[in-house]
Amino acid sequence: MRRSVARNVSLSAVVAAVVTVGAAAPSPSSPAPPAAPTPKSPVAVGYGGAVSSVDADASAAGIEVLRKGGNAVDAAVATAAALGVTEPYSAGLGGGGYFVTYNARKHTVETIDGRETAPRRADASLFLENGKPIAFADAVTSGLSVGTPGTPATWDAALDAWGSKSLRDVLKPAVRLARDGFVVDSTFRSQTESNEERFADFPATSKLFLPGGRLPVVGSVFKNPDLARTYELVGRKGVDELYRGALADDIVRTVRTPPVDPKADRVVRPGDLTVKDLRSYRVLRQAPTEVRYRGLDVYGMAPSSSGGTSVGEALNILESTDLSKLSEAQYLHRYIEASRIAFADRGRWVGDPAFEDVPTRQLLSQRFADSRECLIKDDAVLTSPLAPGDPRHPADCRTGGPAALTTYEGENTTHLTTADKWGNVVAYTLTIEQTGGSGITVPGRGFLLNNELTDFSFAPASPAVHDPNLPGPGKRPRSSISPTIVLEHGRPVLALGSPGGATIITTVLQSLIGTVDRGMPLVDAIAAPRASQRNAARTEIEPGLWNSPVRARLEALGHAFTQNPEIGAATGVQRLPDGRWLAAAEKERRGGGSAMVVRPVGNS
């Protein structure tokens, strides 16, 4: 009989929050010294609700809405809209995402799949020319890679189902932020610099992000009046303006005839997005994934994302081992191997369920996890790429067929978590895929278009195995986005998520077990050095593990590593036993995150 080790979710210690709404722009009448960015704190404790994101101005937008009587869903949309201003290379109106929410009145977890979709004319040859895949970089910066945006429809659906404020009201902080400006930090400048060459090839993008042909200066104030007007338009007329109105026409024109500088020598392939694609787009309201772990109910995002199934399968694999009693090396070994197995199965079985027969229930069954857990040895490492198991017919320690390799996914997504005084919670991850998306700005509208369709497999990994992630008409590309909410006795105790492409799954998994099993405060579990194994010969690890003695102990077991300077950028919220909310974010990754609460109160 398998042994389940029940443990309580560990709760963080005291930290006060600094809550500042917006950054003031300098007077236009005279030069001003470099401004200071809105203060950040990686942890905050208090009452009235909480918001955690990568950006202080965005978190402040959510807090503003909570203070005005809005709920967690209202605050999530307000925070997301503000991130479209301050994190335009990670998220915005031109992208998509996945929204998971706990409804305190009904005691249920519900989700929205707001993933971008391929044009209706797309097929498996979308990224092939003369029968061969085009270069990945060529696909990224093109109209070919742009899927129908799902973010505006997600906001509208979330507010309609669970919100208490109008879209126009929750967009007001973001409108103000776009109009008045935010303070440029080193992360924004470095991300602009890494995209400078391709941004310069698109006049609308260059005008917005490289004004005067120069990079933004750290400490200066960056304004986006076009986006302010776009938000005002969408708030006034509704999101149909983006799917049926003049804004839809602008998006389609930009995709089908990318506005490239005539002097540029870049070949930018047009896309096949049509007005009909935008008009027919629908978000999907669907049941979350659910697994039981250490007496807790863990809810995640079902396919088209692979996040919920992969995190859930890995937790099921780890359930029989008391990770709290293992050494750091033993714990990391088990975690790495569980991740390897989950990714082997993800690659074979998970795609858009509207097109593929995805065995979601079987992937999340404890019986299947037990049949895969027995592959893990305490003194040896599994060989990668590992072949998948068959969740429909579990057989102990058996794998079969060719391995499905993990495709590349852009890492510059963003995640936010919110909670309110009524106990509602949101975990929401949104993206435009690559840092800077497609690099193509819709002229006069102030936002970049996604390159999300590059999440599809360009060609089958092997002719001998079915690939569930090939492009198709109206199909959603597989994602790794993993917004997660954890309940205990039907009440929320923890919610978290992360950006990071395929490393999202491992970041969420490691943060969860760090908190639940290893007894770490949430902010420390988020800050802990990460390892990411995605069914590859080598496991990526951050410098904190690379430079640690634990690496040698793992290598002695057979693990091989490559160094990754930064994996993920998680945020989370936690409900403390006395009713306070704890918000937690990164201490250093991506310049540190921003955790805020409505009424800060420490332990006394």
Show which residues are catalytic.
413
Nearest CA to 307 among 432, 481, 429?
481
- DSSP for residue 210: S
CA distances from 9 to 377, 432, 539, 572 (A): 28, 33, 28, 13
Report helix, strand or coil for 52: strand
Residue 129 burial (CB count, 10 A): 11
- Based on its alpha-carbon atoms, the radius of gyration of the chain, rounded to whole angstroms, reads 23
C-alpha angle 195/431/132, rounded to 5°?
70
Residue 388 CA to its chain's centroid (Å): 25
The single residue listed with the structure tokens 């049509």 is 274
Q: Left if phi > 0, otherwise alpha if psi is -120 to 50, otherwise beta: which for 33?
A: beta
Tokens, residue 74:
């209202």
**Residue 63, both tokens:** 């807090």
- Tokens 């104030």, residue located: 221
Distances, alpha carbon 69 to alpha carbons 66, 75, 162, 192, 247, in Å: 5, 10, 14, 36, 31
Q: Which two tokens stand for residue 32?
A: 């001003």
DSSP assignment of 394-460, as one string?
Answer: --TT---SPPPPPPP-----EEEEEEETTS-EEEEEEE-SSTTTTSPBPTTT--BPP-GGGGS-SS-
Helices (H), 119-195: 136-140, 151-162, 167-170, 172-180, 186-194
Cα distance between residue 39 and residue 464, in whole Å: 54
Q: Give the C-alpha separation, 203 to 537, whole Å.
A: 42
CA distance 446 to 48: 34
